[in-house]
Structure 1
Amino acid sequence: MLVSLGMHGQTLKSPNGNFVLEFSINEKGSPLYALSYKGKPVIQPSRLGLELAGGSKTEFNAEIRKQADPKTSLYDGFSLASVKHSAFDETWEPVWGETKTIRNHYNEMEVSLRQNSTERSLTLRFRLFDDGLGFRYEFPAQKNLSYFVLREELTEFALTGDHTAYWIPGDYDTQEYDYTISRLSEIRKLTEAAKTDNLSQTSFSPTGVQTALQLKTQDGLYINIHEAALLNYGCMHLELDDKNFVFRSWITPDANGTRGHLQAPSATPWRTVIVSDDARDIPASHITLNLNEPSKIKDPSWIKPMKYVGVWWEMITGKSEWSYTYDLPAVQIGKTDYTRVKPHGRHGATTENVKRYIDFAARHGFDGVLVEGWNIGWEDWFGNSKDFVFDFVTPYPDFDLEGIYRYAKSKGVKMIMHHETSSSIRNYERHLDKAYQLMNKYEYPAVKSGYVGDIIPRGENHYSQWINNHYQYALEKAAEYKIMVNAHEAVRPTGLSRTYPNLIGNESARGTEYQAFGGSKPNHVSVLPFTRLIGGPMDYTPGIFEMDISKMNPNNKSHVNATLANQLALYVTLSSPLQMAADLIENYGRFPDAFQFIKDVALDWEKSIYLEAEPGEYITVARKAKNSDQWFVGNTGGNTPFTSDISFDFLDAGKRYEAIIYSDAKDAHYKDNPQAYEIRKEIVTSGSRLKQVSVPGGGYAISLKPVK
């Protein structure tokens, strides 16, 4: 049972009755909430509130004062003004996604609070779904709270014990870490070790972690803490009191240390808590999407999932380079004459090379080709804090923009644009309209944008309110030009793809590129569905068939810590409407039978069923292709062997299906024998079962098609 919360207790139950939320105000006038699931406490009584900034910059990073200042307190001195209960139930259709329809069913409690000493009002809105909780702060229009600045958000998540956590360290500038699995009490000592595993060394609390944070209790409850609808606000991290196991929100600050500049009426993003005693329910939850507004794009017919190849992996591995020459130590956009310098001969985005990829895409039925390094400016783009760094419209001399467009169009292939901003936000915004206009001229349907390096304006963080507003500006501007966006290094997604479905992909986590930067943990891809993917799909760039990077670049001794079968499974387990076959195209010619699965697998889904799941150990998913009778199954394992045992009861009764199973060979291993795989065909029905071993770092993939 929950501990008593104090005065003015209010209760809200989920539609199925499994969740109970209790709200109260304590003797200091501070709002509190608690959450239980099937009678078990999940969140103990936890504080809610915010503190406003005062007049001095030195106050912004100070600890919250013991004595509340009425001028800055939005965390005590409240009384209950009113409580309204309501219910909501709808079914909506996403433009693309894991399912054709999504049910949005919740019970809501709107709590209106009044702070008598300041005559200010604050609304707390709670929504309880059958799989968890969403809540946010709302600021009604009022005389005494119009324009205001946040010093801190004081939201707490008081946990019931020393849970197992699947976490990456707090960082204002990158999410590209391998996950650490540990007890909460171990986070402090492990944080520094985790940070040294990444290029970023952002200063942050030694007990700070990022969301989406996955937890598991000793008695088998799975808890996920994240946020939804991140708009006009800084990204939420979590800081842990590791003595009492209480997380407190830690909002990414702006350059001046404040957490947000707001104007009433407005609201914060939703804070989410997804809970189940079955791990499969966590990645299957739609809470994050449901807490976002419906699509603002009235006619989304131009938004189409894409499967693509591209001139990328050869740059990542060091086989070729983004830049055209070595001879320009200081590039001046619009003034440098590239025709007078000698190319170094390792440029990847040449007309000849790109045509090879276009031919490959056309031959194998891929929708698009991504080209990076096509535009001038790459010689000194990184690490120089350079404002005018790219213009996004001028190609290198060896990239025929017009000719490539005509050639791709003649082959029925779309080109995908690349905009690396070098995190010069002002520069990107000053060029954005012309860059998108160029895309329209040459019929580029999608752009991969990048934000590598320190933010300009200098001192800003990648996930602050100011920068998040830029990502949103670029997304909405793209929608005006009917362009889809795949943002890399941007803030992690929070379900905004419901409102703006042209946000067709994000990176925002440690992707395949790190396999060429020393490697990722073999179980990394079995953690991502419980963490990063809670907010939306990831452009993970799977499909690597050659694991020994030195075969592409003798100077790079990295190894891809996955089996070939694992790489196939990722197209199902890491669902995305934008999927890349990321390897060098010549490597696919060595394994044409395995490559067939990448060609066959769907991008958009009628239905998704999570068959098996345990974070960091394994995940098995079955998905039915939209407007098709075909199913696809994917399994990825972890650090140790796993025997998958699944039923095909999701198939239509009375039908026979040909199952093509792509699996690890018995002697496969991600490190020693990653390319050992087997392909076999079986006839299965809804009554069939499959037992299949996935080796360390391995997995399997299945395509299922009805037969007569």
Structure 2
Amino acid sequence: MKKIFLLASLLMAFGISADAGDITSPNGQIKVNFTLDGTVPTYSVTYQGKTIIKPSRLGYQLAKGGKDGKDLLADFSVIDEKTSTFDETWTPVWGENKSIRNHYNDMLVELKQNSTDSYMNVRFRVYDDGVGLRYEFPQKGSLNYFTINEERTEFAMTGDHTAWWIPGDYDTQEYEYTKTRLSGIRPALHAAVSSNLSQTVFSDTGVQTSLQLKTDDGIYINLHEAALVDYPAMHLNLDDKTMTFTSWLTPDAQGMKGYMQTPFKSPWRTMVITDDARKVLSSNLILNLNEPCKIKDTSWIHPVKYVGVWWEMISGKGEWAYTHNYPTVKLDGTDYVHAKPSGKHSANNANVRRYIDFAAAHGFDAVLVEGWNIGWEDWSGYMKEKVFDFLTPYPDFDIKALNEYAHSKGVKLIMHHETSSSVMNYEKYMDRAYQLMKDYGYDAVKSGYVGNIIPRGEHHYSQLEINHYLHAVTRAADYHIMVNAHEAVRPTGLCRTYPNLIGNESARGTEYQAFGGTKPGHTAILPFTRLQGGPMDYTPGIFDMDCANGSHCNSTICGQLALYVTMYSPLQMAADFPENYEKHMDAFQFIKDVAVDWDKSIYLEAEPMEYITAARKAKGSDNWFVGGVTGMKAHQSTVKLDFLDKGKKYVATIYQDAKNANYKTNPQAYVITKKTVTSKSVLKLNSVAGGGFAISILAQ
């Protein structure tokens, strides 16, 4: 790793004064100004000389008014300002690129609240693609323990920008995105709220991060957070009279937002700022604001391409539960001794072997099995503390024999831990469950947090739950287990620090296509929003769009293929049934070929919710893969292959929507062509609404 670190305290180049300071990005295009407005800390941001964030206040409102009745909002003086610059290149364990540059200018402003002897520092890191700011509380002065009533970080917008948003909610991000002006959030918010097994919408103008914005003069602004540790998740609440967002933290069961002990550092508040939508997608700002990898030996961490016993339950073909004999069941397993099987339990020995055989025949690494363990008969909606033990299989799931069979075929099984949001119960069983996985050769787990959180009254994104999710990841690392957490908090780049966190859901995934459908454009906004903090286990690859429960997937087959490139993840599922792939083996070939780890990624074109085209070079290979997705409108892409090595010839296999393809009425219509291409080749590709294209480019 190459590192350059230059400490330059009070550099004149940054224009630091007693109560104000400026710091710019390394390329000089982004500038942050800190100042005390009287005694109130404020900051502002410009891009290419244009104001992006107007003067915005910083600070905290404390429970019961804080020490001596004072919040940390005013009465501050600057006691010191320090600046530095940092430049390194680091290598991720897995990722979109082989290496990542981390280059920024840093300004630390040390503040003292005059009447209370309380110290609060604000740190700014300014990159070429954006800004991070956080609060740092030293173990100094009178402020040692304190309770946060609310963080008051502001983001004052310069106008009524276009926004792509989902409702602010303490418990779920599983919403479709809405596009409006900022002034349109209030009238549209309630219509944007769809039902969920656990949800808590908190405001008529509250939205979640990552929030994508665009100004009328074409500047893209993305607001999110990085390095969320021991702190509640941040939402944004809009004052639609002043067009100012204020941070809004997730409360605990008592209504408090956070319990702090000095020294501590808040998560980073992040702002990606650019005039090119592609640069939002390629930004590494959030990863760079996280700590380096804390796992010393990462040799056991690896990308995974998998199939699984999952879609048949989601789409209504099968069930998680073993029996219909009982209205309720107990965790001791005695209910199953004489229970009559329903005949619809999908996680049975024969069916799992079928998936293992399919995975082995087509080069997949693993098979996910949901519904293998007792308790699914009355698991959801009852607020039971003990639903699953994560140890006891159903009578028709022979865990030992199935593991031996999988390993004999060169395939691993992926364990499933649905916690039913009983976090207390999961933590009681966690070590035994991870040990069981280790004993049977499982090295990856999909965890789930469906329903209301137990302890009762807690929210999915409160400080207590944030600590639980990270505990599960770090404890799993002790057992050399990779984690794919569903319904947990949306990622904030912690996969850099803990790369065994290989996937998250935390958004509206493919399953919602079976729950009534998702509009085209959803997969063309998620990389701008949810994926800013880390990869998503979106579970793509549906080929038969008509589900057993009567729902229809609003996509084409080529639109599904494209997702393996446009929706980056080191964990990629071929989610449909084996028999549906066997009907379209020519199209399925792309899923078999496409990589899940990359040396280089390039975004060729992008506009939020309308289209995204990405090209990626497979890890340790000269092969490239290209994918393009569209929203509600058909789109023509002009793909220049100038990223290929000059002088080399490649064979391109192009999968694209047929002329008569239609995501509603003719989703399985596609055309496959092959041709020799070079770095001088240009391809013109047409995609229908809700469709897309995919290209494998293999070196000769």
TM > 0.5: yes
- Does structure 1 retain, via aligned residues, the 8 Å contact 2:198–2:452? no
Q: Number of residues paired by the alignment?
A: 686
Contact 2:649 2:676 in 1 (8 A): yes
Deviations 1:380-439 (A, max 9, x none): 111111001100010000001111011101111000000000000000000000000000
**Equivalent residues of 2:236, 2:248 under 8 A apart:** yes
CA drift at 1:490: 0.1
| Alignment match, 2:173 | 175
2:443 alignment counterpart: 445
Per-residue deviation, residues 350-396 of structure 1 (Å, max 9, x unmatched): 00100000000000000000000000000111111100110001000
Q: Tell whether 2:47 aligns with 1:49.
A: no
How far residue 691 of structure 1 moved from its aligned partner, in angstroms, is: 1.0
CA pair 200-402 structure 1, distance change in 2 beyond 3 A? closer
Report if the CA contact (8 A) 1:313-1:583 is conserved: yes
2:78 pairs, out of 66, 77, 80, with 80
Alignment partners' CA distance in 2, 1:647 and 1:71: 63
Partner in structure 1 of residue 590 of structure 2 = 597
Give 1:328 deviation, angstroms. Answer: 2.2
The residue identity in structure 2 corresponding to 1:422 is: S
CA contact (8 A) 1:49 1:153 kept: yes
2: CA distance, partners of 1:181 / 1:144: 46
Given that 2:565 and 2:626 are in contact with CA atoms closer than 8 Å, whether structure 1 keeps it comes out as yes
Alignment of 1:483-562 (within 5 A): 483-549=481-547, 553=548, 556-562=549-555
Q: Distance in 2 between matches of 1:88 and 1:147?
A: 32
* SS in structure 2 at match of 1:74: coil
- Write the letter of the residue equivalent to 2:665: D
Distance 1:375 1:69, change over 3 A: closer
Amino acid of the structure 1 residue aligned with 2:36 = I
Which residue, out of 102, 107, 115, partners 1:109? 107
Report the alpha carbon displacement of residue 201 of structure 1 after superposing the two structures with TM.
4.9
Distance in 1 separating the partners of 2:365 and 2:67:
59
Q: Which amino acid aligns with 1:351?
A: N
Does 1:25 pair with 2:36?
yes
1:223 match: secondary structure: strand
Whole-angstrom CA distance in 2 between matches of 1:199 and 1:700: 35
Q: 2:398 aligns with which of 391, 397, 400?
A: 400
Ranges in structure 1 where 5+ consecutive residues have no aligned partner = 56-67
The answer as to 2:568 corresponding to 1:575 is yes
* Aligned 1:312-327 pairs, distance under 5 A: 312-327=310-325
Which amino acid in structure 2 is aligned with residue 20 of structure 1? Answer: K
2:21 alignment counterpart: 10
Deviations for 1:146-177, whole angstroms, at most 9, x for unmatched residues?
11110010000000000000000001110000
Query: Which deviations, in whole Å up to 9, do the C-alpha atoms of 1:463-510 show, x marking residues without a partner?
Result: 000011000111110000000000000000000000000000000000
Residue 34 of structure 1: aligned partner: 44
Of the three residues 547, 557, 565, the one matched with 1:564 is 557
After the TM superposition, which residues 454-473 of structure 1 pair with which residues of structure 2 at under 5 Å, given as runs? 454-473=452-471
Deviation at 1:143, TM superposition (A): 3.9
Q: Which amino acid aligns with 1:14?
A: S
**CA deviation vs aligned residue, 1:569-604 (integer Å, no higher than 9, x gap):** 000000111000000111000000000000000000
For residue 58 of structure 1, what is the aligned residue in structure 2?
Answer: none
Does structure 1 retain, via aligned residues, the 8 Å contact 2:165–2:208? yes
CA distance in 2, matches of 1:183, 1:636: 24
Aligned counterpart, 1:664 = 657
User: Per-residue CA shift, 1:630-675, capped at 9, x if unaligned?
Assistant: 0000000110111111211100011111110000001111111110
Q: Does 1:677 align with 2:688?
A: no
Which shows bigger deviation, 162-171 or 195-204? 195-204
Counterparts in 2 of 1:413 and 1:237: CA distance versus 1, 3 Å? same
CA contact (8 A) 1:7 1:25 kept: no
Deviations 1:219-278 (A, max 9, x none): 000000000000000000000001111000000111111110011000110000001000
What is the one-letter code of the residue matched to 1:675? Q
SS in 1 for 2:64: coil
The alignment partner of 1:478 has SS state of helix
Alpha-carbon distance between aligned partners in 1 of 2:643 and 2:279, rounded to the nearest angstrom = 17
Is the Cα–Cα contact under 8 Å of residues 175 and 194 in structure 2 kept in the other structure?
no
Q: 1:631 aligns with which of 624, 631, 651?
A: 624
- 2:614 matched to 1:621? yes
**TM-score calculated relative to the size of structure 2:** 0.97
- Distance between the aligned counterparts of 1:322 and 1:441, measured in 2? 24
SS at match of 1:466: helix
8 Å contact 2:612–2:630 — kept in the other structure?
Answer: yes
Report sequence identity in percent. 64
- AA in 2 matched with 1:680: T
The separation in 1 between residues aligned to 2:697 and 2:158, in whole angstroms, is 44
Kept in 1: contact 2:329–2:335 (CA 8 A): no
2:293 is equivalent to residue 300 of structure 1: no
Asked if the contact 2:89/2:102 (under 8 Å) is kept, the reply is yes
Q: Deviations over 1:117-159 (max 9, x none)?
A: 0011111000000000001000000241111110010000000
Shift of 1:331: 1.5
Alpha-carbon spacing, 1:11–1:604, altered in 2? closer, same or farther (3 Å) = same
Structure 2 gaps, min length 5: 1-15
Provide the C-alpha distance between the structure 2 equivalents of 1:157 and 1:525, rounded to a whole number of angstroms. Answer: 27
Whole-angstrom distance in 1 between the partners of 2:236 and 2:350:
49
Q: Determine the C-alpha separation between the residues in 2 that align with 1:198 and 1:634.
A: 31
| Corresponding residue number in structure 2 for 1:59 | none
Q: Superposition pairs for residues 91-106 of structure 1, below 5 Å?
A: 91-106=89-104
CA distance in 2, matches of 1:601, 1:335: 42
8 Å CA contact 1:354–1:371 kept in 2: the answer is yes
The Cα offsets for residues 56-101 of structure 1, whole Å up to 9 and x where unpaired, read as xxxxxxxxxxxx9853411100000000010000000000000000
Q: 1:257 maps to what in 2? A: 255
Matches within 5 A, 1:636-647: 636-647=629-640
Residues 269 and 470 of structure 1: is their aligned pair in 2 closer, same or farther, counting only changes over 3 Å? same
Poorly superposed stretches of 4+, deviation over 6 Å: none
Q: Describe the superposition over 1:264-302 as per-residue Cα deviations: whole angstroms up to 9, x where unpaired.
A: 000110000001000000010000000000000001000
C-alpha distance in 1, partners of 2:334/2:327? 11
Q: Which letter does structure 1 place at the counterpart of 2:654?
A: I
* 1:280 alignment partner, SS class: helix
Partner of 1:366: 364
Q: Distance in 2 between matches of 1:6 and 1:183?
A: 38
Cα offset, 1:203, TM superposition:
3.4
The 1-side partners of 2:581 and 2:330 are apart by 40
The letter for the 1-side match of 2:35 is S
Helix, strand or coil at the partner of 2:535: coil
Deviation digits for residues 194-224 of structure 1, max 9, x if unmatched?
Answer: 0036565523101000000000000000000
Amino acid at match of 2:651: E
Contact kept? 1:418, 1:448, Cα under 8 Å: yes
Q: Given that residues 18 and 78 in structure 2 are in contact (C-alpha distance below 8 angstroms), is that contact kept between their aligned partners in structure 1?
A: no
Q: Secondary structure at the match of 1:310?
A: strand
CA RMSD of aligned residues (A): 1.4
Q: Distance in 2 between matches of 1:143 and 1:279?
A: 45
